[in-house]
Amino acid sequence: MKKILISAATAMLLASTAFAAEEPREPDLGRTFPVAGNVHIALFENRNSVFLVDDERILLSETNFERNAENLRNIIATVSPAPVELIINTHWHGDHIGGNKFFHEHGAVTLSHENTRIRMSEDQVNPVTNQVQLPAQAPEFLPMVTVKDGAVIHWGDETVEIVHYPDAHTDSDLVLYYDNSNVIFAGGLLEYPAYAGVYDPEGFVAALDAVIARADENTKVIPWQGPVVGRAELQEWRDIIETVAANVSALIAEGKTIDEIIAAKPSGQYDEKWGGGRTPERFARDMHYVLTHGTRD
């Protein structure tokens, strides 16, 4: 499949959800689950924030929505009274970074890929509707430390490798490997089982291939949404992206309109299981858009 690229601003918005217009909701009380070793999940609104505990401090990945930040801190405290000292944002979408300000005010340092800070520093405007999807964030929300390709963090008895995969779900995706516990936090690269936004199909497949290569039959994979899974579920999602992109590309080559492509159900064989979040129509429409707005060698 020839690699396809659209403008960065447009692609990022297709891959995201409109969190700026978020409806007021009551805070979620949340739940926690142990994963392996000192790795735990704090679940809020079906989204997995992952926290790593040692005797003196906590490393937290993803701060959920702003409305849940205090409850997130409180429920982590039921596992350990240690303070949250370091936060990792796997990318810039609003449900991943909403609690940054709260934790910043309580002494935590935030870390992300450099593109995440760039996106959060500017209004993200939908080029079709001309509406702001995510407004520029206040300085208290912005990551304080940025990485380019990744980093390694030694946290108590755990080694956490942070790796950047370009042009996958966004242009700023980080995946966390908890090496000693054999746990992978996939961040935005996996919502199981649900279609997710695709920034670049080929880049997404390449990223998943790399993550799959790091996993074995015993690896626990934490998606952004959904239960803890394994290597097989990563492979399942990887194959869906490749197949649906190929199906949509073939229909485009036949001269089909977007309505005809949607009617052809290019993801039809997967829809019963995977179509409960982002609808099959939206998934097809998004895939069509990213495959028809420019190419990159």
How far apart CA 75 and CA 209 sit, in angstroms, is 34
Q: What is the pLDDT of residue 127?
A: 52
Q: Decide if 276 is inside a domain.
A: yes
pLDDT of residue 218: 98
Confidence of residue 13 (pLDDT cuts 50, 70, 90): low
Query: How many other CB atoms are there within 10 angstroms of residue 26's CB atom?
Result: 7
pLDDT at 128 over 50: no
Please tell me the total number of residues recorded for the chain in this structure. 297
Position 295 in a domain: no
Q: What is the CATH number of the domain that holds 245?
A: 3.60.15.10
The number of domains in the chain is 1
Higher per-residue confidence, 134 vs 216 = 216
Give the confidence band of 7 by pLDDT, cuts at 50, 70, 90.
Answer: very low
Confidence band for 130, pLDDT divided at 50, 70 and 90: low
Domain-embedded: residue 3: no
Give CA–CA dist 280/266, Å, rounded.
Answer: 8
Q: What residues does 49 pair with on adjacent strands?
A: 42
Digit-coded pLDDT (tens) for 189-224: 999 999 999 999 999 999 999 999 999 999 999 999
- Greatest extent of the chain over all pairs of C-alpha atoms, in Å: 61
Residue 157 lies in a domain: yes
The string of DSSP letters for 103-121 reads HHHTT-EEEEEHHHHHHHT
In a domain, residue 189? The reply is yes
Q: Please check whether residue 2 lies inside any domain of the structure.
A: no
Q: What's the pLDDT score for residue 14? A: 52
Smallest CA-to-CA distance from 196 within 173, 229, 164, 221 is with 173
- Three-state DSSP state, 31: strand
The answer to the question of residue 109 being in a domain is: yes
Q: Which domain holds residue 199?
A: 8-290
The tokens for 72 are: 């997130």
Helices (H) and strands (E) in the chain, counts: 10, 14
- 3-state DSSP assignment of residue 222: strand
> pLDDT per residue over 26-79, tens digit each?
899 999 999 999 999 999 999 999 999 998 999 999 999 999 999 999 999 999
**269 located within any domain:** yes
For the full predicted model, state whether its pTM sits above 0.75.
Answer: yes
Mean pLDDT over all residues of the chain? Answer: 91
Which amino acid does the sequence have at 74?
N
Residue 291: CB atoms within 10 Å: 22
